[in-house]
Chain A
Amino acid sequence: MSALLEISNLQAAIGDKTILKGLDLTIQAGEVHAIMGPNGSGKSTLSYVLSGKDGYDITGGSMHFDGQDLADLQAEERAIAGLFLAFQYPLEIPGVTNMTFLKTALNAVRRGRGEDDMDAASFLRLAREKSRALGMDDDMLKRQLNVGFSGGEKKRNEILQMAMLEPKLAILDETDSGLDIDALKIVAEGVNAQRSPERGMLVITHYQRLLDFIKPDVVHVMANGRIVRSGGPELALELEKSGYADYRAEGVAHA
């Protein structure tokens, strides 16, 4: 069986600037991988390129998700296929309520997967149940999407979207930043609830602390647009102590 996500020698640029410089990464179903790495090393860029954001030139390599070549799929088709990105900086959308947004997204994904729309009552029940589990006020469903939400509320809202859409692979881009300690636990529980033998996760973080709650199978270090080292959970502990000094040098050496 093919891997859930298989990236090989991926190269991507914005304009003249090459950001991903030959990145390899394989995630099997059931695994949780963490990516750590210095600011500007290309972690968010990787998450955008995987999710199908416009504006990047894929100049080399390949990305396969669940047996499909991602290059053939639009952003919305990737979401329907089961890819989910929890944004590092979730967008504010004035005039669109969180409820309308969640319902439109859920039904778009269901339709794309050949299922019927969810009826209004079931949707409401599900949205309430999932948002309460994340410690969110019912009121936040009625508010305009992310408008005036605190940093932590926006991150919880990302996890709510994940819980509603039930992706096969969730990429969490610094979902822990901006969360207080209690919120971190609640969000981690929400994420762990999604773990299953069929699903995978890619957790981008700067802090070992998140990985105490979401235990990764593999930890990668990304520097200068590449995965420069991979190991077990102990690698995160090591990085916490020694920082990225070695990898910065290595990154430059490979450039």
Chain B
Amino acid sequence: MLITVPKGSLMLNALAHFERAKPQLGGDVEARAQALQQAELLGLPTRRVEAWHYTDLPRLLNRSASSSDALTVNDFSALKPHYLVFENGHLSADLAQLSAEFVSPDADLSADAMTLYNQALAENGLTLKLDKSPEAIVIVETKGSEAQHLMHRVRLSAGVKATVVDDHAALGYSNVIWQVELAADAELTLVHMQQSGQYVGHCTVDLATNAQFKQITLLTGGDVARHATDVNLQQSGAKADLHSAILGRAVSHNDVTYTINHQAADTHSHTTSHQALADSARGVFQGKVIVQRDAQRVDAQMQARAMMLSSEAEINAKPELEIYADDVVCAHGTAIGEIDADALFFLRARGIDEASARQLLISGFVEQLLTHCDDSALADVLRHHIEQKISALTLTKLEAEHAV
């Protein structure tokens, strides 16, 4: 399926959108109006806001249409999942009898502009409160071409284990918030796959004692993908595994930003990022690890790697440590390189043509993400998605480069 990514953002016209949507919006409409007013006062975050230093959102949302792209259909059927589909902000199908009753966002006027816009305009979202582990994984698919604001909540009671996949293939602008709360010993795996549109996502995760959060993020296309995650390791033994991969193509702007707050002793975080950037794609990695004064024996590891596939591509990587405790093990590293010429020769010396050898090395790089995915059927879906995107990449860019 070949589609054209529609441009023009309703964000620039939030008031009109609000007036139109008002009749359908639930909750306290007055509070929503206040949130909107405050959001408009703050305006879209500019590069002057530290967390947005490398992602100039107003400019990116205003770019004129340039890319057309094929959507990859992710087939999760082997996983027999619960399925929810949000289309243009509406829950268009609830194929499993999964309760998804939406509760309007709480108003918090001290929030940042993007959250305020979401508070004002979110009309739907997943509400998942689980007291026991579900048998199947939950897929949240987002599609459609209109602007949408979604507010998802996941709350796992003590000891509950669940996997949620956010399959984002919406073509327009999306402002998506995830609020995750994990009680003691709860374990959530949250997979984000984003391949289209202008996507701004913000995920906040609070972890209690020994809770575990694993996030697997795969950004493979579209125009803008900003995926920010704030993790609060609030009680001892909590653990966060945050792994992301980006396959940046055309003029896509891809941003993964983490703020990991170790608030208690014996908490752990492990972050990896693999960004392969082709054409004029831009990648951003920001990772801020904060270790509070009383958070002793914290182990925080962060590793960001980038593979530059074109001289026009760009990467901004900024790992940061803010450590107030003294007994901690923290490390971060950044490695930026190109396709390794010796590795390329090794493959070619085994009869593999240059284009295929490059493709193999790129998929090997990106698929290191999958080493963190314990569910092999889920890993297969991710792998298939990556392979599809890489084959598109090779046809458009690498051959063109070769012809020069």
Contact = CB atoms under 8 A, between A and B. Distances in A.
Contacts, number: 79
Interface residues of B, number: 24
**Prevailing SS type, chain B contact patch:** helix
A1 interface: no
A108 B346 contact: no
B348 A91 contact: no
Given A54-B341, A54-B345, A94 B365 contact: yes
Interface in B336-381: 340-343, 345-354, 356-357, 360-361, 363-368
Nearest to B361: A93
Nearest to B348: A75
B275 to A, nearest CB: 14
A96 B360 contact: yes
A75 B360 contact: no
Contacts of A179: none
Contact of B351 (A54, A95, A105): A105
A233 B129 CA distance: 78
Interface stretch (A79-87, A181-189, A206-214): A79-87
Given A85-B349, A95-B368, A161-B350, A108 B361 contact: no
Contacts of A60: none
Given A53-B345, A90-B346, A91-B346, A104 B352 contact: yes
Nearest to A112: B351
B12 to A, nearest CB: 41
Contacts of A144: 364
A121 B349 CA distance: 25
Interface in B121-175: none
Nearest to B366: A95
A79 B346 contact: no
A108 B360 CA distance: 13
B348 A76 contact: yes
Given A76-B352, A79-B350, A108-B353, A95 B341 contact: no
A201 interface: no
Given A96-B361, A96-B364, A91 B343 contact: yes
Interface hub of B342, B346, B367 (most chain A Cβ within 10 A): B346
B374 to A, nearest CB: 16
B262 to A, nearest CB: 29
Nearest to A80: B351
A75 B363 contact: no
Contacts of B353: 76, 108
B46 to A, nearest CB: 37
Given A52-B349, A54-B345, A104 B360 contact: yes
A103 to B, nearest CB: 11
List the 5 shortest-distance A-B pairs measured between CB atoms, nearest first: A95-B364, A79-B351, A105-B350, A109-B351, A96-B364
Interface of A: 51-55, 74-76, 78-80, 84-85, 87, 90-91, 93-96, 100-101, 104-105, 108-109, 112, 144, 161, 165
